[in-house]
Structure 1
Amino acid sequence: MSEDKHHHIVPYRLYVIVLVALLVLTFASIGITSIELGEFTVAAALLFAVVKSVLVLTYFMHLKYDKPYIKLMVAFVFAIFVVVIVITFLDYLYRV
């Protein structure tokens, strides 16, 4: 009874690189608050958050090595998130 399980071995070096990237992005998102970007401050913070979440999903949650339908479900969740954010920004934009 052999199962078709494909194990992937990820080197620790890759985890360290992703960890350093996440730390740099975290400090950059903290630093972006001191820069006056006006109406783009929230968008910049959300951009940093999206990049960090993609890194975590891809490497730490092993989405890179998962089945395609799971990737599709995660993409669907991100699409819903984008729709909610766009609706929120439109509400904020057209307030009286």
Structure 2
Amino acid sequence: MNDFRPYLLTWVALLALLGVIVAAAALFDGLLASMIVLAGALCMIALIITLFMGLRSAGGLLRVYATGGVLWLGFLIVLTLADYLTR
């Protein structure tokens, strides 16, 4: 049987981060809430990528491609926001 403990701990951590994000959105306004929500979302993404996508035990080349994909997605989001905010 596979060891399910890391998956369970990751799930609990994801739920805790979700609680932090919801509380920050409800309690704070403006830039502080946005920063807390963004930091929580980035932590959730890191947990999902490392454990559920198996990058913790992956080889170096797969990590390079995964990092490139995340950077490309960030690049596309920044370009879209730049276009949207300048109109």
Q: Which amino acid aligns with 1:28?
A: V
Q: What CA distance in whole angstroms lies between the structure 2 residues aligned with 1:50 and 1:10?
A: 28
Matches within 5 A, 1:73-92: 73-87=65-79, 88=81, 92=85
The 1:41–1:83 alpha-carbon spacing in structure 2 relative to 1, beyond 3 Å, is: farther
Q: Match of 2:62?
A: 70
- The offset of 1:57, in angstroms, is 1.2
The 1:43–1:89 alpha-carbon spacing in structure 2 relative to 1, beyond 3 Å, is: farther
2:8 pairs with 1:31: no
Task: Give the TM-score taking structure 2 as reference length.
Answer: 0.74
Q: Which amino acid aligns with 1:53?
A: I
How many residues align? The count is: 86
Q: Which amino acid aligns with 2:68?
A: F
The 1:11–1:67 alpha-carbon spacing in structure 2 relative to 1, beyond 3 Å, is: same
CA RMSD of aligned residues (A): 2.6
Q: Secondary structure at the match of 1:49?
A: helix
Task: Give the TM-score taking structure 1 as reference length.
Answer: 0.69
Larger Rg computed on CA atoms? 1
List alignment gaps of at least 5 residues for structure 1.
1-8
Extract structure 1 runs of 4+ deviating beyond 2 A.
39-44, 80-92
